[in-house]
Structures are given as structure tokens and as C-alpha cells.
Amino acid sequence: MHVFFRLSFLLGLCLVLAHPLPARAQGGPAAVATERVAMRTMSETISVFGEVVSGRQSAVAARVAGIVTEMPLSVGDRVSEGDVLTRLDTELLEIDRALAQAEIEIAEAGVTVATAQRDRAEKALRRAEALKANSTIAEAQFDERSGDYNSALGAEQQARARILAAETALAQMEYRLKNATIRAPFDAVVLQVGAEKGEYIAAGAEVATLLDLGATEVEANVPARFVSALRPDLVVPARTDAGGALNLALRAILPTEFAATRTRPVRFAITDTSADFAVGQSVTLDVPVSAPRDLVVVPKDALVQGQNGWSVFLNVDGKAQPRNVEIGAAMGGGFEVLSGLQPGDEVVVRGNERLRPGQDIAPSGGAPRGDGGGGSEPGNAAAEAEETPEPETPDAPEDAESASDTEQQG
């Protein structure tokens, strides 16, 4: 028995020596971490789902008919504006162009002949007019000279019209030759190839489908009652389903509304393309639902919940001073302060779980290493917050499942 009691005494002594910190810390200040209450320009936001859509997707068509002689494309290729997509056979078109050029030369020769005939007829008419004035020519002869002149003048005009027709035919041949080479109308990615080498294609047949990545946008259906909060210069952060970040800029609010969901389609331009995305991919946008306003914000870890509501400990001349606060909406790591605090107040964010009013504290920039003055090591306020429900946010939107606030840039 004596041996047993002696062993128990020694074991208890070892346990006391092994944990001397609480006993030694009883008389010293509690080590805590503090932060300043800040004034921030905030805007309440809701998370809405959007989709990456194509601003420009074109099925490039052949403008002329012909047999494909060259098709250098494959699906997935990137092309620049002006790159060759398809070439058509031009042998017959070149023959037709030569024929049109010959027709122009024939028409020009016809104009030369018609002009000479018109000159002769005009001179004969002028002589007849002089003779008629002296009454030395019969009326029938004068009418004949006048008729000849009018016929020559008409023939000349007809010859000139043949030149215009021949020039038009040549322009048509030039158009066909030019468009026998089909080029990319903009920088794009090839989504589909619609023709093969040796294949005959008609005018209007699809050659390739191109997607302009530079014109890609995000379309989101925003609740109609929040559309008035959207500004023309609005920048909205977004996340892809793969975790990539995108920056979006409001481009247009479409003048349509879905009656079933009471939402309106809104288009956003993608201003930051560093993240990998694809047409049809889902993205989540943090869309503001109110105008920016200046708010007093307290860090979340500073809040302690008690029977009378929420409170914080302030550092007042090195002592813990409790203060009841009224809080509002969540503000991304903090909460809006409706009453009880002012900007610049220094609140305890670590080591505040077991502080006593008036207790001496030793603020530091990091997590506390001593106890809170109550005989045990301070816990982590963030961990305790997981067990304590967050305060209600009465100003949150009715249908926003994940309402939050983001700080406005600029």
C-alpha cells in the first residue's frame, strides 16, 4: 500500500511539472491577436449561374460553284483572317475570263465603226439642211438623210452598250476567280470541315464552321428585380466549374424576360482570358444586387455570442473591454456593424474565448501562445465559429441561396 501511494504521488507530481504554463500564466497578461475595425465600400451580391456562349460562330459558305482542288483544314486548327480554307478548280473560269476580255475588244471595235458611220451620216444631214434652206433639195431626200443619221446614232449607242455588257461579264468572271479561293473571314478555330478534295460543291455550300474565340461571352439570367443595380461599367468576378477565375464586364442587358423564372438574360464580355474555358461551359458569377455603400465591417473572428446577443472585446489601454454590437449582412470574412463600433476600434480576434472584462491583454500580430487568463490555452475563434451559427443577415435577398458581399474595385 505504501508503495502504491508513493507511486501515485510521484505520478501526480510529474503531471504538474509537465504542464506548468497555466500556473505560471495566471499573473501575466493574456496573449491575444487584434485587428482594426475598418470602413469599406461594399455591395451585396448574389451568385448566379451563367454559360459561356459564342458571340460569333460562322458556317463559311462557297460563293461560287466548283470542284475542290485544295482543302488544307482539319477540325481544331486555328486560322487567321485571310488564311486559305478551300481552293476550287479555276481552269474553266480562266477560259471564261479570256472570252469576256475578247468580247470587250470586239465591242470597242464596233464602237469605232459605229462612230465613223454616225459621223458620215451627220455630215450628209448637215449638207441636206443647207440645200433645203435654198430649196434645192427635195423633201424626200432630206428625210432620208435625217433617217440615216438617226440610225447611225442608234448603232453607236448600241455598240457602246455592248462594251458595258462585256465589261460586266469580265467583272463577273473576275469575281468567280477571286472567290474560287475561300478565305477565313476572321481569326478562329475550325469546328467542322464541310468539303473534301475532289468534291463538287454548289454556290452556298458550307465549307467550314468557324468559332471566333475573341467574341466569346458569358450569358447569365439575372433576377429581374436586381437588374437596376447593374451599371454599364460593372466588372464581375466569375468562376468556372473547373475552378478557374474569370473577369467579366457588363456588355448588354437584353430586353427580354423569362416569365417562368422572372429573370433577364445579361451578356458579359470576358476581359481576362487567362483561365481555360469552352463554349457551353458553366460559370458562377457574383452579381451585385445593390448600389455600393460605405460600411463599418468587423472581422468574423472578433464576434462572441452570448445570451444577450453578439459582443466583442476591445483593446482599451491594454485591457479587455467588452462591447455589445449589432451586426448585419455577411461581408466576406466579416460582418456589417449596425451599432456598437466605430472605424479604428481595435478588437480581439484570437484568444477572446475566455477573456474576462478588464483583464490585461498583450496584443500580437500572430496567434496567441499563452492562455486567456482563465487557466487554459485559448482556442481558435474560427474553429469555434463552426460550432456557433452565424448571425442572420436580414437584408439578404429573398431568393439568393448563397448571398455574399464583395468589395468593389476602383
351 with 230, same domain: the answer is no
Q: Is the pLDDT assigned to residue 181 strictly greater than 60?
A: yes
The answer to the question of residue 224 being in a domain is yes
- Residue range 326-338: average pLDDT? 81
pTM to 2 decimal places: 0.52
CATH of the domain at 388: 2.40.420.20
Higher pLDDT, 89 or 399: 89
For residue 179, count other CB atoms closer than 10 A to its CB.
16
Cα atoms in the Cβ-side hemisphere of radius 13 Å centred on 239? 7
**Which CATH number do you get for residue 76?**
2.40.50.100
75 and 196 belong to one structural domain: yes
Domain boundary among 157, 177, 197: 177
pLDDT in tens, 24-47: 345 588 899 999 998 887 777 788
> What pLDDT sits at residue 175?
94
Residue 66: which pLDDT band, with cuts at 50, 70 and 90?
Answer: very high
Where does a domain end: 288, 311, 341?
288
Compare 137 and 354 and report the one with higher pLDDT: 354
Co-location of 243 and 124 in the same domain: no
Domain identity same for 323 and 400:
yes
- By percentage, how much of the chain surpasses pLDDT 70? 81
Statement: residue 112 has pLDDT above 50: yes
Range with the largest mean pLDDT of 15-29, 67-81, 143-157, 261-275: 67-81
Within a domain: 15: no
Q: DSSP E strands: which ranges in 54-88? A: 57-61, 66-70, 78-79, 84-88
pLDDT of 143: 83
pLDDT at 366: 41
Note whether residue 119 is domain-resident: yes
Q: Is residue 400 part of a domain?
A: yes
Residue 77 placed within a domain: yes
Predicted local confidence at residue 133, as pLDDT: 79
- What CATH number is attached to the domain comprising 273? 2.40.30.170
What is the structure's pLDDT at 184?
Answer: 94
The DSSP 8-state label assigned to residue 220 in this structure reads E
Residue 48 has pLDDT above 60, yes or no: yes
Q: Tell me, yes or no, whether 371 lies in a domain.
A: yes
The number of angstroms, rounded, from the C-alpha of 246 to the middle of its chain's C-alpha atoms is 8
How do strand 188-193 and strand 206-211 relate by DSSP bridges?
antiparallel
96 shares its domain with 74: no
Domain of residue 155, CATH code: 1.10.287.470
pLDDT band of residue 289 (cuts 50, 70, 90) is: confident
pLDDT at 213: 78
The count of other CB atoms within 10 Å of the CB of residue 208 is 24
What's the mean pLDDT in 260-287? 85
pLDDT of 39 reads 86
Distance of CA 287 to the CA centre of its chain: 14
Q: Of 5-14, 178-187, 299-308, which one has max mean pLDDT?
A: 178-187
Residue 175: count other Cβ atoms within 10 Å of its Cβ: 13
Dmax (CA) for the chain in angstroms is 174
Q: Quick one: pLDDT at residue 230?
A: 86
pLDDT of residue 400: 35
Cα(159)–Cα(163) distance, integer angstroms: 7
Instruction: Find where cell 465589261 sits.
Output: 167
Binned at pLDDT 50, 70 and 90, residue 103 comes out as: very high
Q: Does 160 share its domain with 63?
A: no
Percentage of the chain with pLDDT > 90?
A: 47
Structural domain including 354 reads 23-44+293-407
Name the percent of the chain in helix, strand, coil, to the closest 5: 30, 35, 35
pLDDT in tens, 113-123: 999 998 998 88
CA distance linking residue 105 with residue 94, whole number of Å: 17
pLDDT tens for 344-396 read 999 999 988 888 999 999 988 543 333 333 333 333 333 333 333 344 433 43
Query: Looking at 288, 318, 350, which one is the last position of a domain?
Result: 288
Helix axes 139-179, 91-133, angle to 10 degrees: 160
| 322 and 363 housed in the same domain | yes
Contact 362, 29 (CB under 8 A): yes
Per-residue pLDDT of 79-97, as tens digits, reads 999 999 999 999 999 999 9
**Together in a domain, 62 and 202:** yes
55: helix, strand or coil: coil
- Residue 370 is given by DSSP the state S
Is 304 found in the same domain as 284?
Answer: no
* Higher-scoring residue by pLDDT: 291, 386: 291
The confidence score (pLDDT) of residue 47 equals 87
Q: Do 217 and 205 share a domain, yes or no?
A: no
Q: In the prediction, which pLDDT does 10 show?
A: 52
The chain-wide mean pLDDT, for the chain, equals: 80
Number of domains in the chain: 4
Tell me: do 195 and 330 sit in the same domain.
no
Same domain, 170 and 187: no
